[in-house]
Chain A
Amino acid sequence: MIWKIILFLLMTFVIIAGIAFPIVPQPSNWYEFPVIPGLEEKAKIIFFHVPTAWLAVIAFLMAMVYGVRYLKNKNLDEDAKSSAALQLGMVFAILATITGSIWAKFTWGAFWHWDPRETSIFILLLIYGSLFALRSAIENEDKRARLSAVYSIIAFLTVPFFIFIMPRIMVGLHPGSANDDTSGPVVDFKMNANMQLVFYLSLIAFTILYWWMWKIRYKSIIINENLVKK
């Protein structure tokens, strides 16, 4: 129960800080953020957009881990956990795409540019979207679990490349691209300490929320499967 209270308080703080903390030229208090030329208030997206992308990666990683566990012990509960993680991963990947796209409209002038970061998340959505098509096409639950596990392992191998490598080595518009020499809201240790504090608290809050949602989702899948078997 304590972690639920911690989650509530952390997220409340992140919302207040992420929206209402002022942006000033020279921050002198812990509750002030620096001006990032060209972005100003729009830099605050980092507290809400990046955690959704982070959760998509965590969810796809967990889908792979529980896929491996299913292949080891053939327990369908592991498949339910992998499936729940996949569903949430997809939800958060879509949220990251939508929030990024809205931000892009007001920062770069259009909702979509086929920037390396946008292209990579689009390909990831296609890869994981295919997995749902695969799962829904197989009726036998053991076969479905086995193929899904193998697919989620192979699919995750592409995630580090599409999320962490490709958008950083290619020239693009997104902060953190190879040609980015500005002080954009890049997730690194050059980020202002006040922003870092709120950003990392945001990551923690979103991760706890994800873990809670995942638990509820996989339990409901297991219950549903048990009821269908009856």
Chain B
Amino acid sequence: MENGFFGFLESNSIYIVMFIVLVVWLGIFMFVLNTDKRLKAIEKELEKEKSVLKEN
């Protein structure tokens, strides 16, 4: 089965390109998602600091 799948990819190399691009897209998506999360955490932290400064 495995040989069959790799054999298929060897004779239809455009699908290898497709899988590579999908992996690249997954990597970019995860990176942007992670950056977004970190930025939201920083925003929360800054909001907290602001409210503490106002209280004092």
Contacts and interface: CB of A to CB of B under 8 A. Distances in A.
Nearest to A15: B21
B18 A16 contact: yes
Interface residues of A, number: 18
Nearest to A8: B29
A20 B33 CA distance: 27
Interface in B1-49: 14-15, 17-18, 21-22, 25, 29, 32-33, 35-36, 39, 42-43, 46
B25 A15 contact: yes
Interface string A1-20: 00010011001100110011
B5 to A, nearest CB: 15
Contacts of A20: 14-15, 18
A12 B23 CA distance: 10
Which secondary structure characterizes the binding site on chain A?
helix
Contact of A4 (B17, B18, B33, B42): B33
Which secondary structure characterizes the binding site on chain B?
helix
A102 interface: no
A216 B36 CA distance: 6
A216 B22 contact: no
Chain B: interface size category? 10 to 19
Contact of B17 (A19, A216, A219, A220): A19
A11 B27 CA distance: 13
B18 A15 contact: yes
Contact of B39 (A16, A216, A226): A216
A209 B29 CA distance: 9
B15 A216 contact: no
A114 interface: no
Contacts of B39: 216, 219-220, 223
Given A11-B25, A15-B22, A16-B18, 12 more contacts: A4-B33, A7-B29, A11-B29, A15-B21, A212-B32, A216-B36, A216-B39, A219-B39, A220-B39, A223-B42, A223-B46, A226-B46
23 contacts: A8-B29, A11-B25, A11-B29, A12-B22, A12-B25, A15-B21, A15-B22, A15-B25, A19-B14, A19-B18, A19-B21, A209-B32, A212-B32, A215-B36, A216-B32, A216-B35, A216-B39, A219-B43, A220-B39, A223-B39, A223-B42, A223-B43, A223-B46
